[in-house]
Structure 1
Amino acid sequence: MFLVLLSYLAFFSIALPDSMLGVAWPSMRLSFGQSLGAAGLIPPFGVAATIVSTLLTRHVVARLGIGRLLAVSTVLSAVGLVISAASPTMAVFLVSVVMLGFSGGAIDVTLNAYAARSFGPRRINLMHASYVIGAAASPALVTLFLQVGVSWRVPYLVIAGLQLLLAGVFAVGARRWQEAEGRRRVHPWTENVDQRPEWRRKTQPRTAHASPDTDPARNRRPRMKIAAVVGIAAVVVQTGIESSVALWAYSFLTLGAGIGAGIAGLAVSGFWLMMFLSRVVLGSLAEGLGSRTIMGAGAIGLLVAAVLTAVGTTWPAAAVASVLVFGLAAGPMYPLLILTTRDRTTATGLDRLVAAQAASSAVGAATLPLLFGFAMSASPSAFAPIMLGAAVGALVLHLVLRGGSFRS
């Protein structure tokens, strides 16, 4: 249970810097002399760092172990936040974004691979709910400082200090990870199927007379490859939606729907709060109702939220409601996509597909917000039609995953 709690705390830590930019950017851009739409140019730098981090993490974990990787990555995050706060130009700030991408990517892929093997729907949702707590806390902190007239740089320094404290906790707990790995005699990245509990085994033993043409495992491989590709696409769209709401909802509410800065800041925090509640509640319900049922409800909810954004350009209350509904609907989607990775691949390919999905989530978190940046530079109201298209795409991908029988 101690390692489960450390996993939750680690996801809390990587969320803190991730969600600050959306609220800080309108003030930050003035310091850097940038346009509003320039915020869309920032995520690709973090994405590139995250992808490189995902590719290297497997080797780094093999050398350091999970516990030390958590500690080192959190220290790197703290250093990146200090550089963010001290940045005199946009170029220097982008350096800090790259550092934060390296840090968050390493923690994300390592713990998601661990959770996909070891957790059920409730625990993996609680782990991602811990991310939401951090993601809700930091925008509220930035909003508080800005409302009292303090520079956007100060909350970055405050979060950097908190990251250093968390790094100390991870360093102390590193030995527990080592002990757990020693007891298992196998690392989560290279775990052999036969060493897992019986109920988690997915192997189907061959008979002595099995041939390549009648081997069920061989025959389902093409379908599983298709499922893996569709699952990656679903992750891209899902994380793109979440990141776009986190980054652009504040600007949409204030500039596109005419809502005051204070209420808009609270609405962004409300987005993360609703996501937290849905992961806690719906994640638990998924234990009994099944992951597919909860994911279906979430996909429909995303479409409802997107419709509300269109109404919100003339009815401000609907705009605020749309941000909250996005949080409620999106909450369990990404954790359950990670959990159901084992339905779309073999046991030996699980870690590689989780890493591919982690990289694709970073791509989605950059590409869709970038599209929003270009569109919202012309009109803040463009948030509504682009979000509607993304929500339709998410629903279609879910229906493809649900309709296909990818497991035999």
Structure 2
Amino acid sequence: MASRPERHARHQGCARSEKSDESRQSAINRVAARAYSTLPRGLIYIKLAPLPPFIFQDPAVAHFILLGIVYVSFISLGLPDGILGVAWPAIRADMGQPLAAVGAITIAMTISSATASYFAGPIAKRVGTGAVVATSCLMTALALIGFAYAPSFVWLVALAVPLGLGAGAVDASLNHFVAAHYSSRHMNWLHGFWGVGATTGPLIMGLALASSTGWTAGAQTIGLIQLGLAVVLWSTLSLWAKEHATPPKEDGEHGATSFKPVRPLALWLAPLTFLFYVAAEMGTGLWAASILVTDRGLSPTDAGVWVSVYFGSITAGRFGVGLIANRLGNRKLVQLGLAVAAVGAAVFAAHGLLGAASQLGLVLMGLGCAPVFPSLMHETARRFPDDIARTVIGRQMTFSYIGGSVVPAAFGLLATWAGLSAVMPVVVVLLIALLALTTALNRMT
């Protein structure tokens, strides 16, 4: 008679993890069916098949499969980031909108992303990181496909809300998951792969604009890529709960098991560092071309090349930093990177002294910026206990969106009042202030 409750207990356990191959496949099929049912009728039909059970039985194999999925997710995360600026001239021509109307879309996306990032931690704690990432990816995919079929500009603004919610939630959730389970090397490389996605997205949109299909085909293509990733994420949902890897001990000097007493100030100082950093990085990326064209007489094409070199230096630098990240540690990388970035920004600002050579400051600043964001993010899980780190990372992403939108816009007001030459000195001040903030945060945590 004892066998019946034993079988019942075994059946209950399977719904969560891995007690029985047959029950595991059934659980995955149910998750896949729910994902499938969320797709609009007539849009696309894909049958999700569970992965073979032996894949889930070997922890090492499951670990590498999930790590590969996380890498692909970071590429996918970057794909939509640069396409709006590329497509907007064609969009506004098709829909009869003024140039400034893009602000309505970006504001809707920024507010939605910041809100989703702030609440992503508690939601992921309740339902699991895998479910948050898979749902967010599906939401982003459907929003992008919706862009391609939007009948009016109002629909684009409305679709920017789920697009922003999906982007913000997946950004915060993935960063926390990587910080908790993988080394600083992987965090830097993963953000390098984000740069690959951010570079590829505009190329896809550019090819679509060059063809007869136009911008709608570009949005649809990227949306379908995201949808394919959502299928993979839902099909491998159980892998996320089974990941118990932790960063190696050589991952910096402060990756140990004990934490200093949590000071309330540190819980907000950590997010503030992200506001300062993203403001400096994105502010430079936004206004460098205008500075080069208006103040220094370069052609728009040459200015565009230098901006591409700046962002390319950040991406290449992250791949390079990944080779030494585990030996130097996050805190040293951040301090060194900020010092180099501040020197680079000062060189770019010193056009009166250095002439054309000042453009090389963009390369130096990009290389200095490379380790700052991923290393600061990765160190959060070493500064605070897991439950607190999850919340702090959500705040950090929220402050990042504020720093990437509000401050660069304020630079425009500064340029109107004091001239474009005033922008880069402010960036230098931001980077020096950030160096002081991170030093204080290091003492607290």
TM-score w.r.t. structure 2 length? 0.71
Distance in 2 between the 1:324 and 1:381 partners? 23
Partner of 2:319: 280
Partner of 2:435: 398
Distance in 2 between the 1:66 and 1:242 partners? 28
2:220 pairs with one of 157, 163, 166: 157
Structure 1 unaligned segments of length 5 or more: list them: 189-198, 204-216
1:20 pairs with one of 57, 63, 83: 83
Partner of 2:98: 34
Q: Is the contact between residue 47 and residue 366 of structure 1 (CA under 8 Å) also seen in structure 2?
A: yes
Distance in 1 between the 2:295 and 2:87 partners? 18
In the alignment, structure 1 residue 201 sits paired with structure 2 residue 252: no
State which drifts further: 24-33 or 167-176. Answer: 24-33
2:400 pairs with one of 317, 339, 361: 361
Is the alpha carbon distance of 1:229 and 1:63 closer, same or farther for their aligned partners in structure 2, counting shifts above 3 Å?
A: closer
Distance in 1 between the 2:273 and 2:217 partners? 37
Q: Is the contact between residue 43 and residue 365 of structure 1 (CA under 8 Å) also seen in structure 2?
A: no
Is the alpha carbon distance of 1:119 and 1:265 closer, same or farther for their aligned partners in structure 2, counting shifts above 3 Å?
A: same
Q: Is the contact between residue 347 and residue 361 of structure 2 (CA under 8 Å) also seen in structure 1?
A: yes
In the alignment, structure 1 residue 65 sits paired with structure 2 residue 128: yes
Map 1:9-408 onto structure 2 (within 5 A): 9-31=72-94, 32-35=96-99, 39=102, 42-58=105-121, 60-61=123-124, 64-87=127-150, 90-146=153-209, 151-178=214-241, 180=242, 200-202=256-258, 220-221=261-262, 224-249=263-288, 259-260=298-299, 262-310=301-349, 321-374=360-413, 378=416, 382=420, 384-403=421-440, 406=443
Is the alpha carbon distance of 1:406 and 1:331 closer, same or farther for their aligned partners in structure 2, counting shifts above 3 Å?
A: same
Q: Is the contact between residue 120 and residue 394 of structure 2 (CA under 8 Å) also seen in structure 1?
A: no
State which drifts further: 360-369 or 88-97. Answer: 88-97
Distance in 2 between the 1:316 and 1:397 partners? 28
1:236 Cα offset (Å):
0.6
The Cα offsets for residues 47-95 of structure 1, whole Å up to 9 and x where unpaired, read as 2212332344345435653333323222221222233344565543322
Distance in 2 between the 1:318 and 1:168 partners? 49
Name the larger-Rg structure: 2
Instruction: Tell me: higher relative CO, structure 1 or 2? Use CA pairs within 8 A at least 6 residues apart.
Output: 1
TM-score w.r.t. structure 1 length? 0.77
Q: Is the contact between residue 136 and residue 272 of structure 1 (CA under 8 Å) also seen in structure 2?
A: no
1:306 Cα offset (Å):
3.0
Q: Is the contact between residue 270 and residue 441 of structure 2 (CA under 8 Å) also seen in structure 1?
A: no
Distance in 2 between the 1:240 and 1:246 partners? 10
1:370 Cα offset (Å):
2.5
Q: Secondary structure at the match of 1:284?
A: coil
Is the alpha carbon distance of 1:400 and 1:360 closer, same or farther for their aligned partners in structure 2, counting shifts above 3 Å?
A: closer
Is the alpha carbon distance of 1:90 and 1:316 closer, same or farther for their aligned partners in structure 2, counting shifts above 3 Å?
A: farther
State which drifts further: 16-25 or 72-81. Answer: 16-25
Distance in 2 between the 1:301 and 1:140 partners? 30
1:351 Cα offset (Å):
1.4
Q: Is the contact between residue 22 and residue 248 of structure 1 (CA under 8 Å) also seen in structure 2?
A: no
1:116 Cα offset (Å):
2.1
Distance in 1 between the 2:326 and 2:189 partners? 12
Give me the identity figure in percent: 25
Is the alpha carbon distance of 1:47 and 1:363 closer, same or farther for their aligned partners in structure 2, counting shifts above 3 Å?
A: same
Q: Is the contact between residue 249 and residue 268 of structure 1 (CA under 8 Å) also seen in structure 2?
A: yes
Q: Is the contact between residue 313 and residue 381 of structure 1 (CA under 8 Å) also seen in structure 2?
A: no
1:3 pairs with one of 66, 70, 74: 66
Instruction: Please give the root-mean-square deviation of Cα atoms over the aligned residues, in Å.
Output: 3.6
Counting matched residue pairs gives: 374
Q: Secondary structure at the match of 1:398?
A: helix
Is the alpha carbon distance of 1:303 and 1:200 closer, same or farther for their aligned partners in structure 2, counting shifts above 3 Å?
A: closer
Partner of 1:194: none
Q: Is the contact between residue 137 and residue 269 of structure 1 (CA under 8 Å) also seen in structure 2?
A: no
Q: Is the contact between residue 54 and residue 109 of structure 1 (CA under 8 Å) also seen in structure 2?
A: yes
1:12 Cα offset (Å):
1.3
Structure 2 unaligned segments of length 5 or more: list them: 1-63, 247-254
